[in-house]
Structure 1
Amino acid sequence: MKSLLIFLLAINIWDQQLALDSITKAISTGNVTALEPYLDKSVEIAILEQENVYGKTEAVQILKNFFGKNKPQTFSQMHTGQSKGKEAHYSIGNLTTASGTFRVYIYARVEGDKFFVQELRFDKE
């Protein structure tokens, strides 16, 4: 029984890592369509000095506009972590684009086995 519990816990951790990897891959390629399923109903987006909370549909448009102006070249994940209760995950990385490098902050809440991105920040390096 103990082995089964450990196995199920390992699968859950694996699924969460795959979701975070999918989110960072979508950002690294500017693929908003792949990122959209992970966006929460409302998302705080900060791009340089502009910061606001957007509904999912508007957030998709904001991100498409950002990636349209800043064509991604590479993304390197620098740090990841999770809250003490494991109900939230975050990732910090550097996104190199045709127009410069951005420090990217991703904050996502976890509900069951699903990730919901609640905050995305793009700060110019």
Structure 2
Amino acid sequence: MNKLLMMLGVVLLGGIFTAFTLSASSFNKSTVAGPFEDVVSAIKQGDASGLSRYLDNNVEINITGKSNSYSKAQAEIILKDFFSKNQVKSFELVHQGGDASRFGIGNLTTTSGVFRLSFFLQKKGGSMVLNELRFENK
């Protein structure tokens, strides 16, 4: 009888440990999203407001060869205009890299065509800021 109780205790403790480990690992995965992932998500949704959360004070935006440096407020207006004229169907991230600075390059499929989109985030202070976006016809 004692051996049976001991085995039950071991099984119960093993089950509790497994449940705790699984819930802890899924909790960690859900909290991993950061600025890079948020920017990719905003691009996939054509969400200029979501992107504007990460815009630097001055942002370089290049849309099909027309490049300019904009203030954060101007950049949000430019992005809203772009996404209103080019509703996003999908965004496929093809390349990404960096540590202190991060970049992403992908294919943005919209109602008006496909663009090669690249963006750059750099560390500024204690956070990451989006300082360049390039939309090139594919």
Q: TM-score, normalised by structure 2?
A: 0.74
Alpha-carbon displacement from aligned partner over 1:15-68 (angstroms, at most 9, x marks no partner) = 5x6221110110111111111110000000000021000000000000000001
2:70 is the alignment partner of 1:57 = no
**CA contact 1:87–1:111 (8 Å) conserved in 2:** no
Q: Tell me how large the CA RMSD over aligned residues is.
A: 1.7
| 4+ runs deviating over 4 angstroms | none
Unaligned runs of 5+ in 2: 1-27
2:113 equivalent to 1:100: yes
Ranked by relative contact order (alpha carbons within 8 Å, sequence separation 6 or more), the top structure is 1
Rounded to whole Å, the distance in 1 between the matches of 2:63 and 2:80 is: 12
How far is the alpha carbon of 1:87 from its aligned partner? Answer: 2.4
Q: Which one of the candidate residues 130, 133, 136 is aligned to 1:117?
A: 130
- TM (norm. structure 1) is 0.81
Distance (Å, rounded) in 1 between the aligned partners of 2:113 and 2:105:
17
Q: Distance in 1 between matches of 2:69 and 2:124?
A: 20
Q: Secondary structure at the match of 2:39?
A: helix
- Please state how far the C-alpha of 1:113 moved relative to its aligned partner: 4.9
Matches within 5 A, 1:2-81: 18-81=34-97
Counterpart Cα distance in 1 of 2:73 and 2:40: 20
Task: State how many pairs are aligned.
Answer: 109
Distance 1:77 1:27 in 2: 10
> 3-state DSSP class of the match of 2:78?
helix
Question: Partner amino acid for 1:40?
Answer: D
Partner-residue secondary structure (3-state), 1:103: strand
